[in-house]
Chains A and B, each alone.
Chain A
């Protein structure tokens, strides 16, 4: 594995995680969470865990994000923190 590439991915993961938690707009937070899941999926592909990465791409970046959006659509979209 190319470790600078890996290191960059790790940094991005942490940044997206913090961003998803701190965005006031819930719709935006859901999308950033989708990005986070997708970055995780890239990391796991690099670690030779293809089945897990496949599942995470389908579930984490796909369906989970859709669930978040569905909920964010039905409630007030502004969060206080």
Chain B
């Protein structure tokens, strides 16, 4: 139980990764595949954020104290959450939305070509 309390975030990541991957490959509707893709990417983002958490830390914007009216910023690393993983994931979110836009565009094109968004029906029409 103690192990679960420590690592339940990673467990959630794994569950979401599995759901996303299953939906991307196994779902029949193309829009559902896109939703699966977003969930998959979100799970990876969650994984990166989880690895950057430090117990008892605050957001990575530096605090300061005033000594004789002069601002001194506190730069001790253990006070703040890990900025590196957050930056990587900002980029990953942007990449995710760009990919999503492209995928949905293709879904619309497929719909105007075949009149359906179900994979099995499209494959039937192709043959």
Partner-B contacts on A (CB < 8 A): 3, 7, 10, 13-14, 17-18, 20-21, 26, 29, 33, 36-37, 40, 43-44, 47-52, 55-56, 59-60, 63-64, 67-68, 70-72, 74-76, 79-81
Tell me the total A-B contact number using a CB cutoff of 8 A: 125
Closest to B42 in A: A40
B32 and A64: CB pair below 8 A? no
**Secondary structure class of chain B's binding surface, majority of residues:** helix
Indicate if B74 sits at the interface (CB-CB under 8 A).
Answer: no
Categorize the interface residue count of chain B. Answer: 35 or more
A36 and B39: CB pair below 8 A? yes
Contacts of A52 in B (CB 8 A): 45, 49, 86, 89-90, 93
A67 and B100: CB pair below 8 A? yes
CB distance from A5 to the nearest CB of B (A): 13
Partner-A contacts on B (CB < 8 A): 5, 8-9, 12, 15-16, 19-20, 23, 27-29, 31-32, 34-36, 38-39, 42, 45-46, 49-50, 52-53, 57-61, 80-81, 85-86, 89-90, 93-94, 96-97, 100-101, 104, 107-108, 111, 116-118
